[in-house]
Amino acid sequence: MEQAKKLLKDYAPARWLVLVLVSGLMFGTYWFQDGLGPLKTLFESQLGFTSSQFGMLISSTTWANWALMLVLGGIALDKWGIRKAGLVFGLIATIGAFIVGLGSTGMFGENKLLVMVIGRILFGVGLETTCVLISRTVVKWFKGHELALAMGLNVVVGRMGTFGAVSFGVEVGGGNLSASLITAASIIGVGFLLFIAYLIFDVKLDRQMNQKAGGSKEDEFKFKDVIELVTNKTFLYIALLCVAFYSAVFPFVQYAPDLLINKFGFTSVLPPLEGMSLLEKIGAYLKCGPKVAGLIPMGTIVFTPIFGGLVDKKGKAASLMILGSLLLIYAHLTLSVFNSVTLGYTGLFALGIAFALVPAAMWPSVAKIVPEKRLGTAYATMFTIQNYGLGLFYWGIGKVLDLTNPAVVENIRSVREGLQAQNMAPEKITTTIETMRAAGEIPVYNYTISILMLVVLGCISIYLAFMLKKADEKQGYGLELPSSANTQQ
């Protein structure tokens, strides 16, 4: 008799299958979001983009959300529910991604930058609301069960998308920029189809929950709920920590392959491995910028489930956010001030661990602070605030890079125009410029000042994590307690 009263989400196989289905869309959106970074040299050599223009393109993902479009998306999620909101915003993200990919071929006109920016804006509207929706879905299915672990694994799948894009984004397109972008857009399309398959489970669970509740409906959304949210001190600290921390990570991921190529002389693609010994092959991988930059999401893939399980069983979420912020500072110092390749490797790995620690602790903590029926609005508000920081630093790193390296910008422009005049294929232009750079015929970018800006964000993150811990001690949400000890009303 007791068995018949169980909801679908109370069966472990069902909720873990749901996690697989919804995480597919997370994988695709993260691949496309972070997939431009390893293509930066292709943007320069094949489209003639400067670092500032490249920064503008990746920054444009956040622009619509500056106008609170993401908050509106979160409100729409709370009002429409997961199914309708997922179909609308998942489709918007997919369409935006294809506009970027096809726009790079000139299909929609010669002003490729404008077309691609429009596509990234659309993608950004769909991306962030989709991430909110997926987080809301995981809470719906796992609250009262393995919530922190499930949210951590969902993050892992997203980071696997980042890892794939950073490590193999150039190869999947055969060195052709447009082919890489269109492939990335297609991956989102597959994830969207998996989400549609999930809707079968969502319909069944809602029917069970409505029957269990006797047909009663949740309270209607009220705007005063947003006011209560943004005046909650604990929520404000965690939201500001979100923007400071992620602004020091996501923009860096986009520039990391290019930084390693310029700072340490790494290659942009793997050399032919035929005839190499195993040690020589490993050495080649460890000297390839995109492959080494893949250490960042790799760290999250390995450690996020571990930290998620730790938060479920032991708690200490606020303390883990402090530790993650300290690792963030170490990582960016090693990659800006020092010129040691060994220290650089440790910095990238530390960043990967921090990238696992903070999300594994942060997102389940929000579910303790905010009632479940308003989580869509809460996550959307956090992502909106985050977008201001991301937009600034996506563009700001590239702009500072151009301002501090004017000779490099002019040299690349001049060489590219000369090679184009010879009717050289885009892939050949890229290879020639990389060969000239490796030979010292083209100067390299100096990334020091650009990355030092991110050290400041790490310091801000530590301060906010300490303030979050103090605020929780007063308000009693139990952020330092295990997931099972949820003190929220």
Kindly list the averaged pLDDT for each block of 10 residues, start to end, along the chain of length 489.
66 89 92 89 90 91 76 75 88 95 92 95 86 85 81 83 87 89 94 93 86 58 68 87 91 90 86 86 88 80 80 83 92 92 91 84 82 74 83 91 92 89 85 83 90 94 91 82 59
The amino acid at 457: L
Closest CA to 82 of 201, 189, 211, 229: 201
Give yes or no for a contact between 159 and 300, defined as CB atoms under 8 angstroms apart.
yes
Per-state percent for the chain, helix, strand, coil, to nearest 5: 80, 0, 20
**Ramachandran quadrant class, 123 (left: phi over 0; alpha: psi -120 to 50; beta: rest):** alpha
Q: Is 279 exposed, middle or buried (0-12, 13-18, 19+ CB in 10 A)?
A: exposed
Q: What pLDDT sits at residue 221? A: 52
The amino acid at 195: F
Domain for residue 4, yes or no? no
Residues 6+ apart with CB under 8 A from 444: 261, 262, 263, 265, 408, 437
Separation between Cα atoms, residue 293 and residue 252, nearest integer Å = 10
Run of H or E including 172: helix 147-172
Long-range contacts of 207-210 (CB under 8 A, 24+ apart): 208/7, 208/8, 209/7
Domain for residue 395, yes or no? yes
Q: b or e along 154-174 (b: 16 or more beta carbons within 10 Å of the residue's beta carbon)?
A: bbbbbbbbbbbbbbbbbebbe
Q: What pLDDT sits at residue 222? A: 60
Separation between Cα atoms, residue 74 and residue 82, nearest integer Å = 10
Query: What one-character DSSP code corresponds to residue 441?
Result: S
Give yes or no for a contact between 335 and 259, defined as CB atoms under 8 angstroms apart.
yes
Residue 476, SS3?
coil
Taking the CA atoms of 79, 82, 88 and 93 in sequence, report the sign of the dihedral they define. Answer: positive
Q: What pLDDT sits at residue 475? A: 81
Domain for residue 388, yes or no? yes
Range of the domain at 324: 16-208+222-405+445-485
Q: What pLDDT sits at residue 312? A: 79
Angle of helix 250-264 versus helix 448-475 axis, rounded to 10: 150
Q: Is 470 exposed, middle or buried (0-12, 13-18, 19+ CB in 10 A)?
A: middle
How many helices, marked H, and strands, marked E, lie in the chain? 21, 0
Strand partners for 288: 267
Phi, psi for residue 108 in degrees, rounded to 5: -105, 15
Residue 176, SS3?
coil
Angle of helix 448-475 versus helix 375-404 axis, rounded to 10: 160
Domain for residue 196, yes or no? yes
Q: What pLDDT sits at residue 489? A: 42
Give yes or no for a contact between 346 and 334, defined as CB atoms under 8 angstroms apart.
yes
Domain for residue 111, yes or no? yes
Give yes or no for a contact between 127 and 61, defined as CB atoms under 8 angstroms apart.
yes
Q: What pLDDT sits at residue 217? A: 52
Whole-model pTM: value is 0.75
Q: How many structural domains comprise the chain? A: 1
Give yes or no for a contact between 255 and 450, defined as CB atoms under 8 angstroms apart.
yes
Domain for residue 364, yes or no? yes
Q: What pLDDT sits at residue 273? A: 84
The CATH number linked to 71 is 1.20.1250.20
Domain for residue 129, yes or no? yes
Q: b or e along 249-276 (b: 16 or more beta carbons within 10 Å of the residue's beta carbon)?
A: bbbbbbbbbbbbbbbbebbbbeeeeeee
**In sequence order, which ranges of 215-340 are alpha helices (DSSP H)?**
224-230, 233-247, 250-264, 278-285, 289-293, 295-314, 317-336
Token pair of 94 as six digits: 């997919």
Closest CA to 169 of 297, 264, 49, 79: 297
Q: What pLDDT sits at residue 68? A: 66
> For the chain, what's the residue count?
489
Separation between Cα atoms, residue 390 and residue 63, nearest integer Å = 10
Neighbours of 11 (CB within 10 A): 11
Domain for residue 30, yes or no? yes
